[in-house]
Amino acid sequence: MKKKISLNYGCALKKVVGKEGISKKELQKFSSTFKKGLFSLSQKRTKKIIGFADLPYEKKLCEKIIKKAQQLRGHYDCMVVLGIGGSALGTSAGLEAIKGSFFNHKPGGEREGWLKVIVADNISPDFISEIFDLIPFERTCFSVITKSGTTSETISTFAHALNLAKRRFGGDWKRRFVFITDPEKGFLRELARKEKVESFEIPPNVGGRYSVLTPVGLFPLACAGVNIRKLLEGAASFDRVCFEKNLFKNPAGIFASIHYLLYKKGKRINVFMPYVEKLKTLSDWFAQLWAESLGKQKNTYGKDIFIGPTPVKAKGVTDQHSQLQLYTEGPFDKVITFITCQKFENDIKIPEIGKFEFSKKSFFKLLKAEEIGTMFSLLKAGRPFLEISLPRVDEFYIGQIIFMLEVATALWGEFANLNAFNQPGVEFGKIIAKKILVNDRKVLGNLKKLKLKEYSV
């Protein structure tokens, strides 16, 4: 029987951390709220209003994705993912976690022929230029990802890639592109039908930030040689656990409940701090999941609530030297979530050098000593924290942590009576950007408010 990730929450309790924590009694009392939230979430799942929790069981789709990835292997050396936000962050997180920080720097032989995956998730002109200057265009294919099929940034970068491909390859451009978009509507879907470009579907009931286990994340990851069967297997193994009705047997429930209760006590900042270099990009993915899902002006009844916990990305041990001082002696407005690993693939012994106390020890022991030292410093300062511990970093356990954090985020939304699956604040900004580009007079007039020259120095 395989192990599973664990959530250690003792250091968020008053009896351990002191008055800034929560009591076991508070948690027990909150159990009824948890059950209502879990029931509501389960109902949404049953009615197919939300679909992220059922993604681990799409086995036929998984095999179709693997088949396509194997076809591309050998024909191409590089894949560029054109996407942004939820269409990109899950891929980046999964790629670095499973393939390591320097996968794209390895020669083809060491990658066993699998593709380098470059995620073009911004439209900064220099960034786009550098990517297209860097890639071997003859040996590059593109995964174009937008659920709506109309995302400004993605369609713009796609237009650039398409223009270059048509110039160089003529009508042969089509086989170098795979579209991942809505099954029915949107510009990209229409183009896929018209030009007969191969495509995968994003389920309409799965939002971008919950879509890493759809083709959005699975296809690029499979092209890099990630075992996506194992990734989905890990997520599926945590389904029953994360929908368990007993709060004290449900890690997603405990995570959401403690964060919600601490939020109510003024701890509005959630520091997400992996002590594994390969998991640093998981922080980017989690930051979007947490912020975009839970930062809301209105609740489900239309009442203004202006609510939302703020995610902060940190990395052990690096940020012991840049942020820990603030966490231990600054305001009591934070709760830390550590991500730790029990076993690493590699370890190195530290050679003897002078009277250095870690001589002849291993880097693993040094990392663990620093990790525990950070935890004790927070404990001594009375700062609550939780720890998500992975037996090791591989596809199975990454699947588990993705599933757990998605369910926990959705549950927090249920507790606060908000919609954790929309993003009206983001959509407004997109609308304004489009109006600026078409020279909307009203919007251009209002832009003067942003450029008050008398207040410039």
Active site residue 430: yes
Per annotation, catalytic residue among 20, 153, 292, 414? 292
The residue count of the chain comes to 457
Instruction: Give the DSSP H/E element, type plus range, for residue 180.
Output: strand 177-181
- C-alpha to C-alpha distance for 259 and 270, rounded to whole angstroms: 8
Residue 167 CB-density burial (10 A; 0-12 exposed, 13-18 middle, 19+ buried): exposed
Active site residue 267: no
* Residue (of 438, 424, 173, 171) closest to 302 by Cα position: 424
Phi-psi region of 176 (alpha: psi -120 to 50; beta: other; left: phi over 0): alpha
Per annotation, catalytic residue among 47, 196, 321, 453? 321
Token look-up 């950007």 returns 433
Query: 12 phi and psi, to 5 degrees?
Result: -105, 0
- C-alpha to C-alpha distance for 433 and 220, rounded to whole angstroms: 29
120 DSSP β-pair partners: 82
* Residue (of 146, 289, 133) closest to 214 by Cα position: 146
Per annotation, catalytic residue among 14, 106, 368, 430? 430
- C-alpha to C-alpha distance for 311 and 288, rounded to whole angstroms: 8
Active site residue 292: yes
Q: In 10 A of CB 99, how many CB atoms?
A: 20
Amino acid at 208: G
List, by residue number, the catalytic residues: 292, 321, 430
